Amino acid sequence: MPPSFLLDLTHTSHTRARTGVQRVARSIAAALGERARPITHDPYFGAWRDLQDWERDNLAATAPARKRGARWPLAARLRGYLGRAGADGTLAGAAAGEAGLLVPEIFSPSVAAALPPLLAQVRGPRVALFHDAIALQLPELTPAKSVARFPAYLRELLAFDGIAAVSEDSRRALVDYWDWLGVSSPPPVAAVPLGIDLPAAAGPAPAGKNPPVVLCVASLEGRKNHTELLDACEQLWAGGSRFELRLVGLAQRETGQAALEKIEELRRAGRPIRYDGPVDDATLAAAYRECAFTVYPSLLEGFGLPVLESLSHGRPCICAGHGALGEAARGGGCLALESTDAAGLTTAIGSLLGPGERLASLGAAARARRFRTWADYGRELSEWASTLPQGS
């Protein structure tokens, strides 16, 4: 019998943002179904508790948010304060009826402080997802608050029975960091690659789309490397290439401001560029269907969900050929680059816009691939977790 889990959705249940970690957390909740009991740490109540209706509504919401931050309405805060007198710091029924704990989010210091009593309460296995170590690998392109937080977070992961890394590259990054710290007996770390939602059908790009649409689905932040992509597109437009660049993703102002300014500069110059910001799932699926191919110029990823989503729609993707992105590209359908600088992106995009069979060949390779679904992921994660020692 696969284990059931208390599922910590403290951040995801308080935001309607749909960036990477939030999409993963929502998808895991759906994949585990009745085997997941979503919970949150309520800082106003001072305890862990089950989700309330308004928090479940956040999970189910399809309209995208313009901000990533968690939001606690005044009524929820007041309920927490008023109920605090009766709180005993435990989650009713956890010890008796739950098999384990699953934490898919990059948890905050306040959640970290509340985890020890919960970890002691559940029977195990106690599992955390590990997404990436980018805050330490590319600190200059990461919000300063995340960089400062990350060393403590990586130590806090040692309290779990096992860590499910989202890719082999992420697994190595975590193991190497713990080795560097001199940790003698870390918990096991397994690479359990994420799943994706499969589209209803994956066909070739619509014929006669003129100019063709080149799509980029990525949060606007420093490491996603939009400025190099925009410079590459400007070189192609200046050279006479005809295409529209469509950008989809939530902007992170601290590290994405340069890209936002470049987008406005290109718009004022009359270049065919469209920035949609965050969109709902239906709009995103339509964007994939309407494009000729996608570009994911990111410098470093823990997994690279948009690459596999593009391929599952039958659309080739230009991306880096190293790290987790190289793992995603390995099965075919990608134009994998040694460097995603402006020069490399200019050549790659130009090669797929030009005459020849390269675009068609990559599209056929993408449509021939088979992809892991979230149901596959939930099954593999549960099977691996059941092999871990019980929490103690």
* One domain for residues 136 and 28: yes
User: What CATH number is associated with residue 59?
Assistant: 3.40.50
Task: Kindly report, residue by residue over 69-127, the tens digit of the pLDDT.
Answer: 778 888 888 887 877 645 444 565 544 455 799 999 999 999 999 999 999 988 889 99
Select the more confidently predicted residue: 98 or 161.
Answer: 161
Tell me what pLDDT residue 76 has.
83
Q: What percent of the chain stands above pLDDT 70? A: 93
Other beta carbons within 10 angstroms of residue 306's beta carbon come to 28
Distance CA 348, CA 317 (A): 10
Percent of the chain as helix, strand, coil, to the nearest 5 = 45, 15, 35
Strand partners, 246: 215, 274
Quick one: average pLDDT of 281-302? Answer: 95
DSSP strand pairing (293-296 vs 244-248)? unpaired
Distance CA 219, CA 141 (A): 13
Considering the entire predicted model, what is its pTM?
0.92
Q: Give the model's confidence band at 208: pLDDT under 50 very low, under 70 low, under 90 confident, else very high.
A: low
Tell me what pLDDT residue 9 has.
96
Quick one: average pLDDT of 258-272? Answer: 97
Tell me what pLDDT residue 68 has.
66
* One domain for residues 263 and 306: yes
Select the more confidently predicted residue: 71 or 295.
Answer: 295
User: Radius of gyration of the chain from Cα atoms?
Assistant: 22
Domain presence at residue 203:
no
Select the more confidently predicted residue: 96 or 275.
Answer: 275
Tell me what pLDDT residue 300 has.
95
* One domain for residues 346 and 257: yes
Domain presence at residue 146:
yes
Average pLDDT, the chain: 91
* One domain for residues 112 and 184: yes
Domain presence at residue 340:
yes
Domain presence at residue 206:
no
Domain presence at residue 200:
no
Residue 283 · residue 303 · CB < 8 Å: no
Quick one: average pLDDT of 274-289? Answer: 93
* One domain for residues 236 and 260: yes
Tell me what pLDDT residue 201 has.
72
Q: Per-residue pLDDT for 162 more than 50?
A: yes
Domain presence at residue 178:
yes
Select the more confidently predicted residue: 58 or 174.
Answer: 174
Q: Per-residue pLDDT for 1 more than 60?
A: no
Domain presence at residue 236:
yes
The backbone region for 212, taken as left when phi is positive above 0, alpha when psi lies in -120 to 50, beta otherwise, is: beta
Q: Per-residue pLDDT for 30 more than 50?
A: yes
* One domain for residues 89 and 61: yes
* One domain for residues 241 and 104: no
Tell me what pLDDT residue 89 has.
45
Distance CA 107, CA 197 (A): 25
* One domain for residues 86 and 27: yes
Q: Per-residue pLDDT for 337 more than 90?
A: yes
Tell me what pLDDT residue 88 has.
47
Give residue for tokens 């590459």. Answer: 232
Distances (CA, A) of 63 to 72, 182, 234, 320: 18, 45, 32, 30
Specify the number of domains making up the chain: 2
Q: Per-residue pLDDT for 64 more than 60?
A: yes
Structural domain containing residue 14: 5-195+374-385
User: What CATH number is associated with residue 286?
Assistant: 3.40.50.2000
Q: Give the model's confidence band at 252: pLDDT under 50 very low, under 70 low, under 90 confident, else very high.
A: confident
* One domain for residues 163 and 18: yes
